Amino acid sequence: MQIIENSIVKEKLYIEKLPNGLTIMIIPKKGIEKKYIIWGTHYGSNDSSFIVPGETKVTNVPKGVAHFLEHKMFEQENGRNSLDVLTSLGVNANAYTTNNHTAYLYECTDNFYEALDEFMDYVQHPYFTDQNVEKEKGIIGQEIMMYDDYPEWKVYLNALEAMYHNHPVKLDITGTIETISHIDKDILYKCYNTFYNPSNMAMVVCGDFEPEKLLDEIKKRLINKNGTGKIKRIFEDEPKTIVKPRVEQKMDTSIPLFAIGIKDEPPEQEEKVRKHIAIEIILNILTGASSELYRKLYDIGNSYWTPSIEYEFDSNYAHILISGQSNDPDKWFEMFKEQINKFKENGINKDDFERIKKMIYGEYVREFNDVTDISRMFLSDYFKGVNSFDYLNEIESINLDYTQEVLKNVFKEEKMVLSVVRN
């Protein structure tokens, strides 16, 4: 078992890659009562076109299969629902689907190993029938219609659609009522057998554990399944340009919502963490509660709280999203662009840079206080080819010149879109 120690947060990461390809990561937290486990597959809503290892032809499946599969995994052949079984043990279980991975999880203080029996059983034993698949279409269809009524979701999705021509990241993770109507049990089994292979999966556990003992317990519960070769994921070429600079939709909302998107190019492996940190610093300097822009917007009554900021990337896409509420989103957007140009011309203030960098460093350190944050972070970063410790190790090397360079290369007006939802 490989051990990686981080002296900043005084944490150890134990990593074991099993012969079948499954990667297990354990972060012991002595004296912490809560235990958290998350088991993920590198399979998300983006993966609708692929070549199965050992085959030559391309398999195309409807949009929304990854999310549909996540819903169906809890139902077992014996008639039980594994979510109910886990709840009866006093553990809090759940699952979620993102653009690039699907994850199953639970947290508890007691009955960890009793829950592990059920947890590892249902993830390894899918049960799909014509009847239960058809029933699920109605349930997921209601979920899709519910999200269609959420202004916060539509303003986000519209921004992605304004940025991306072809990449499936612009599509709703759940699919549409039309696309899920084409899902059947054969498609679900095909995708399960392709992507739920141990060589395409990773597990993260955090809590008061002896790593060697925990690893043995996990191995006991693994079924005998060999790893496969690499799955080839097929994507259409994505132009570097945006689709359109502005999109607006009318919905029931008291204050207009906005989302500013900035389309970026996927970072190279060695730049993933450094670029991410620099963008976080820039966004906080630009739009944070202590920023010049926020003060100006607040003074003219155009912003009442700081917007949310996000930098999302994977191997073949990357973008920034800034979302919030404003009485005049177009004015907000114009002032945002003016502030960027001001920083490009005059440079970012060094004191502001150092202050925000320290603040972000503190946030990184605090993430290691919670077993939930730790586990989700390590799983998500793993599927992006990153070790979460790297953010702590790299932040000190981020200087003002590098950050200024990222500002110039990423924050380009021709790559920006504005999505608005208003009454």
What beta strand segments (E) does 75-212 contain?
Answer: 92-97, 102-108, 201-207
Which of helix, strand or coil describes residue 324? strand
Sequence-ordered list of residues with C-beta below 8 angstroms from that of 284, at least 6 positions apart, any chain = 291, 309, 356, 359, 360
Distance between CA 296 and CA 303 in Å, rounded? 9
Which of helix, strand or coil describes residue 257? strand
Distance between CA 170 and CA 172 in Å, rounded? 7
Distance between CA 23 and CA 257 in Å, rounded? 41
- Pick the catalytic residue: 5, 55, 70, 271? 70
Q: Strand 246-250 and strand 416-422: pairing?
A: parallel
For residue 102, CA distances in Å to 165, 199, 222, 419 come to 24, 15, 19, 28
Q: Is the dihedral of CA 365, 370, 375, 376 positive or negative?
A: negative
- 265 DSSP 8-state letter: P
Cross-strand pairs, 264:
318
For residue 300, CA distances in Å to 109, 112, 325, 404 come to 50, 54, 14, 29
Phi, psi angles (nearest 5°) of residue 202: -150, 150
For residue 348, CA distances in Å to 193, 287, 292, 333, 381 come to 51, 13, 12, 19, 29
Smallest Cα–Cα separation from 262: which of 122, 160, 383? 160
Q: Annotated catalytic, 210?
A: no
Distance between CA 333 and CA 321 in Å, rounded? 12
Query: Both ends of the chain: CA-CA distance in Å?
Result: 57
Catalytic residues: 70
